[in-house]
């Protein structure tokens, strides 16, 4: 099955934004590997749970940064361009994030 470039949206990010987001994801990936290592070493459950909570907080922080940038760039530009359906898309995304 071929990928269709017109079937999904893309976002051009500045080098700074891209690097910041990738750095956050790399740290989160390291946290997840650390949690796996704790499990493999039979670490005490509460200790693992605390690290899982820290990884969840890091993912939430990543989401907040990405969402803020999305609103400041994509959403704001679409509203200026009269693409009000972007507001509905944003509402849907926020609903999914708040589950």
User: Would you kindly state where each structural domain of the chain is located, as residue ranges?
Assistant: 14-97
Q: How is domain 14-97 classified at the CATH fold level?
A: Methane Monooxygenase Hydroxylase; Chain G, domain 1 (1.20.58)
By three-state DSSP, how is residue 1 classified? coil
Would the pTM count as exceeding 0.85? no
Cβ of 35: how many Cβ atoms within 10 Å?
A: 19
pLDDT digit string, tens, across residues 24-81:
999 999 999 999 999 999 999 999 999 999 999 999 999 999 999 999 999 999 999 9
Tally DSSP H helices, then E strands, for the chain.
4, 0
- Rounded Cα distance between 14 and 20, Å, is 10
Burial of 52 (0-12, 13-18, 19+ CB in 10 A): middle
């Amino acid at each position: 099955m071929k990928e269709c470039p017109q079937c999904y949206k893309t976002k051009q990010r500045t080098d700074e934004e891209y690097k910041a987001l990738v750095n956050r994801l790399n740290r989160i990936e390291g946290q997840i590997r650390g949690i796996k290592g704790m499990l493999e070493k039979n670490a005490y459950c509460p200790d693992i749970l605390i690290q899982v909570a820290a990884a969840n907080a890091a993912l939430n922080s990543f989401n907040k940064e990405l969402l803020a940038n999305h609103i400041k760039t994509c959403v704001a530009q679409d509203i200026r361009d009269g693409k009000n359906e972007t507001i509905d898309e944003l509402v849907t995304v926020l609903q999914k994030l708040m589950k």
